[in-house]
Chains A and B, each alone.
Chain A
Amino acid sequence: MHDANWEPRIVAFFCNWCTYTAADLAGVSRLKYAPNVRIVRLMCSGRVDPQFILAALAGGADGVLIGGCHIGDCHYVEGNLKTLRRFQMLKRMLAEFGIEDQRVRLEWISASEGDKVRSVINEMVEQLRPLGALALREQFKEWGREVADGQPVSVALGEAKQETEVAHV
């Protein structure tokens, strides 16, 4: 699973008004950052359904980054507050799954903070490297096979295994 060419993969959900614009600004300013991130544009970080984060992790992402406007600056008044609340709940749930804290990150990045886009992405990539691949897809296959074989389940991700399956279904 850990081949030498492994590179962390990050799916980012950026709000249209602040963080996506900041990423555009990073481009216009020709700042250089790690090519490991794939940005999905949403109108507001409030649109980030926790299912999107789970889908990204289950689909092969090693980390998820959510970017929104600073508190008080939301284009839609308070969408980012909803994001924050959901994020806190989700973090607790993910911790119980044994998914490390650094893998899912929420950042407030305003339209003028192109440099913050660069530093956050670079930092996140470096934090993910020592954690290695999350490889949930492979895990699911493994567990699926074990369940099908009727064998006792190996404890791959600690005691979190049962819940993970529930979440996957």
Chain B
Amino acid sequence: MKTNLTNGDIRIGFYICHCGHNIGGVVDCTAVAHEITGLPGVVVSRDYKYMCSDPGQELIRNDIREHALNRIVVASCSPLLHEHTFRNAVEAGGLNRYFFQMVNIREHDSWVHTDHAKATTKAVALARAAVLRVRFHRALETTRVAIHPDVLVVGGGISGIHAALTLANAGKKVYLVERDPSIGGHMAKFDKTFPTLDCAACILTPKMSAVRANKNIKLWTYSEVAKVDGYVGNYTVTVRRKPRYVNEELCIGCQECIEACVFKEGKYPDEFNVGLSKRKPIYIPFPQAVPQVVVIDPERCLQLKSGRCKKTCVEACADRQAIDFTQKEEMAEIKVGNIIVATGFKLFDAKRIPQYGYGLYPNVVTSIELERLVTSSGPTGGEIIMRDGRTPQSVAFVLCVGSRDFRTNRWCSRTCCMHSMKLAQLVREHTGADVTVFYLDIRAPGKGCEEFYDKSLKDGIQFVRGRVAEVTDWALTPEEEGKLVIRAEDTLAGVVRRIPVDMIVLAVGMEPQADSQAVRRLFNMSCGSEGWFLEKHPKLAPVSTFTDGVFIAGCCQGPKDIPDSIAQAGAAAAEAMALIDRGYIEQEPNTAYVVEEDCSGCKSCLPLCPYTAITLDGTTQKATINAALCKGCGTCVAACPSGSIRQHLFEDDEIFSEIEGVLTHA
């Protein structure tokens, strides 16, 4: 059966790429090209330095014309990287783009093997398989799927806000879904931003207001994505809207209800001030919150818990009648074409390193707690004070808490060096205290950041290089009495030092959100082993994911600072816009189809399809596959007992010949 296809009809061109030394340094490309020359149907067999370059592609286009080639095989890198490039070249040469097969001899061969002879043998086997396979390739049509113009942005931190505004300003309709009662994310908690020391609120709150004011943005706070169905261009998303017991349309944000609450003082830890202040059961997250709508905490509100409250809040709201204790969780269904995931990060829990004494010694604080203390709108009105109300005379910063450490997280959180130096400068400015920074390496690679480090040095901030071993209140000398003592090796001086200070700031690193695995599954994304969402390509596709139409931006992809988050958010918005404005996406025609005369109507395939693409035709009693619904997994193809279901691009004869090919050569 297979030999009669290698007659005069099939004319194969084979190309092997050296990829500079990447492949050529391990695989003997000339020998592979020579070996392939002898195979039936092969008309041209060449090796070339860089096949993906323009001259490389030109080689293919020319040969197609000159030698009347009708099948092309390129052995180079992973098809996930350059299959598209070569298919375009094949098409430009005048052939159907699917008369092409790619052989991965870089990622799967030259990069993972050291034995040149064995790597070359493997390359020959893989190349032979592709040459055998490509003979069976059929001409196929690329299918087009229309793109719904609306976009969902998940997460209302600075990344999500920027992505939503970019799209909305271009006239696209955006749903911005945020889990918390207000947008703003981590940035809203910051006082000033490095390295320019401009105020975070001054640059963030106008953007938050712009979100509220923009007619193209539908803002859903206190909401979470519950379910995602569909595919690129046609996602159906279910959003769970949690009850805030206050009608968003009616509340004007006057906060009289908060004043009137039966709790005269705040009683519960305020999330926004990371527990440094107290709030009431009815509250507004922070003064500049968007939307300006109060929220009632059902775990704390007397009325919601017991039903026995004087409801002074309702009285205060009077005829506005915004408070509604009967609100229920609602599910809203929306249709969007693209999704941008910007779900951010969580901070490392400093309690996980007990020797630093967080939670044990009251004056050991985290960087975000100090950030709230230093903020003029914070719980102390911008005063840096210790728990007993004194102003610290000496402050130490411990860097890399939960970062660059095999015992906790191996990655560098990228922002803590700069963030700590910023806080150190603010501490100097506000209190005049002596500041010592314990660091492993100062990482200040951003624009203006090294200069900021220089400024920190000139400001008299002391830097000690070494990982802090422990924090203790056990005084050994009179000077240490009543202070916290940091024990650390000073690796530059080569001595172990004990430094007594009043206050210690732990620069906690970033971690993936606690529910990052669930979120990943929801949007059909991949995670790196650390839990950050995986981009499609670390360099060439940093905001795309393996699922078309799902993009990532900001710290959910990995730790980054505000400028980088904004850059990614803009890039993700642009990627979504590129799809929307083109109006369609071309999809791999790798769908399954039924050869009707072979189908016995046994219905084995029907329950296998997760997309219900297969139905039984009532009149013919044969299975039919809706190509628009089929995603091309091929599960039904493998299961069909009569072999009547087939799959474009992954036909049985194609795969069998590939198996034969890899085994022909030892």
Chain A 7-37 interface residues, beta-carbon cutoff 8 Å to B: 7, 9, 11, 16-18, 20-21, 23-24, 26-28, 30-33, 35
B182 to chain A, nearest CB (A): 33
Check B659 against A59 for contact (C-beta < 8 Å). Answer: yes
B425 to chain A, nearest CB (A): 38
Check B529 against A112 for contact (C-beta < 8 Å). Answer: yes
How far apart are the CA atoms of A63 and B662 in the complex, in Å? 13
Check A40 against B108 for contact (C-beta < 8 Å). Answer: no
Check A39 against B108 for contact (C-beta < 8 Å). Answer: yes
Interface size for B (C-beta < 8 A) is: 52
Check A82 against B635 for contact (C-beta < 8 Å). Answer: yes
Chain A 103-119 interface residues, beta-carbon cutoff 8 Å to B: 110-113, 118
The residues of B that contact A32 with a CB separation of less than 8 Å are: 112-114
Check B637 against A49 for contact (C-beta < 8 Å). Answer: yes
Check B107 against A28 for contact (C-beta < 8 Å). Answer: yes
Check A73 against B521 for contact (C-beta < 8 Å). Answer: yes
A43 in contact with B638 given A30-B112, A111-B526 (CB within 8 Å): no
Check B634 against A47 for contact (C-beta < 8 Å). Answer: yes
A42 within 8 A of B: yes
How far apart are the CA atoms of A81 and B322 in the complex, in Å? 50
Check A111 against B534 for contact (C-beta < 8 Å). Answer: yes
A48 within 8 A of B: yes
Check A79 against B633 for contact (C-beta < 8 Å). Answer: yes
Taking each of B526, B637, B666, which has the highest tally of chain A beta carbons within 10 Å of its own beta carbon? B526
Check A52 against B112 for contact (C-beta < 8 Å). Answer: no
The residues of A that contact B126 with a CB separation of less than 8 Å are: 38-39
> Which of A21, A43, A118 is within 8 Å of B546, CB to CB?
A21
The residues of B that contact A35 with a CB separation of less than 8 Å are: 109, 112-113, 115, 118-119, 121-122
How far apart are the CA atoms of A18 and B521 in the complex, in Å? 13
> Which of B108, B631, B655, B662 is within 8 Å of A42, CB to CB?
B655
A72 within 8 A of B: yes
Interface size for A (C-beta < 8 A) is: 51
A47 in contact with B635 given A24-B78, A38-B129 (CB within 8 Å): yes
Check B656 against A47 for contact (C-beta < 8 Å). Answer: no
B125 within 8 A of A: yes
A92 within 8 A of B: no
The residues of A that contact B637 with a CB separation of less than 8 Å are: 47, 49
Chain B 87-134 interface residues, beta-carbon cutoff 8 Å to A: 104, 106-109, 111-115, 118-119, 121-122, 125-126, 129
**A82 and chain B: residue at smallest CB distance:** B635
The residues of A that contact B538 with a CB separation of less than 8 Å are: 28
How far apart are the CA atoms of A25 and B637 in the complex, in Å? 29
A86 within 8 A of B: yes
B639 within 8 A of A: yes
How far apart are the CA atoms of A41 and B103 in the complex, in Å? 10
> Which of A30, A39, A77 is within 8 Å of B111, CB to CB?
A30
A40 in contact with B658 given A27-B106, A47-B633 (CB within 8 Å): yes
> Which of A40, A44, A113 is within 8 Å of B659, CB to CB?
A40
Chain B 626-666 interface residues, beta-carbon cutoff 8 Å to A: 631-635, 637-639, 647, 650, 652, 655-656, 658-660, 662-663, 666
The residues of A that contact B634 with a CB separation of less than 8 Å are: 42-44, 46-47, 79
B55 within 8 A of A: no
A147 to chain B, nearest CB (A): 24
Check A78 against B610 for contact (C-beta < 8 Å). Answer: yes
**B531 and chain A: residue at smallest CB distance:** A112
Check B78 against A82 for contact (C-beta < 8 Å). Answer: no
Check B112 against A27 for contact (C-beta < 8 Å). Answer: yes
A25 to chain B, nearest CB (A): 8
Taking each of A16, A21, A38, A51, which has the highest tally of chain B beta carbons within 10 Å of its own beta carbon? A38
The residues of B that contact A112 with a CB separation of less than 8 Å are: 526-529, 534
B40 within 8 A of A: no
A60 to chain B, nearest CB (A): 4
B514 within 8 A of A: no
**A10 and chain B: residue at smallest CB distance:** B662
The residues of B that contact A46 with a CB separation of less than 8 Å are: 633-635, 638
Check B80 against A21 for contact (C-beta < 8 Å). Answer: yes
How far apart are the CA atoms of A72 and B114 in the complex, in Å? 36
A52 to chain B, nearest CB (A): 6
The residues of A that contact B659 with a CB separation of less than 8 Å are: 11, 40, 52, 55-56, 59
Check B107 against A43 for contact (C-beta < 8 Å). Answer: no
Check A82 against B546 for contact (C-beta < 8 Å). Answer: no
Check A47 against B638 for contact (C-beta < 8 Å). Answer: yes
B524 within 8 A of A: yes
How far apart are the CA atoms of A150 and B78 in the complex, in Å? 51
The residues of A that contact B647 with a CB separation of less than 8 Å are: 47
A161 within 8 A of B: no
A77 in contact with B115 given A9-B663, A44-B634 (CB within 8 Å): no
The residues of B that contact A18 with a CB separation of less than 8 Å are: 526
Check B527 against A61 for contact (C-beta < 8 Å). Answer: no
Check B112 against A9 for contact (C-beta < 8 Å). Answer: no
How far apart are the CA atoms of A32 and B125 in the complex, in Å? 19
A113 in contact with B521 given A24-B108, A49-B638, A59-B663 (CB within 8 Å): no
A-B contact pairs, 20 of them (CB 8 A): A11-B662, A21-B80, A26-B107, A35-B109, A35-B118, A39-B104, A39-B108, A39-B126, A40-B662, A42-B634, A43-B633, A47-B635, A49-B637, A56-B663, A59-B660, A59-B663, A72-B521, A76-B610, A76-B633, A82-B608
Closest 5 CB pairs of A and B: A27-B107, A47-B634, A46-B635, A76-B633, A38-B662
Excluding A46-B633, A47-B637, A49-B652, 17 further A-B contacts by CB distance (< 8 Å) are A20-B80, A24-B104, A26-B112, A35-B113, A35-B115, A43-B632, A47-B633, A47-B634, A49-B655, A52-B655, A52-B656, A52-B659, A59-B660, A76-B635, A111-B546, A112-B529, A118-B112
Residues of A within 8 A of B (CB): 7, 9, 11, 16-18, 20-21, 23-24, 26-28, 30-33, 35, 38-44, 46-52, 55-56, 59-61, 72-73, 75-79, 82, 86, 110-113, 118
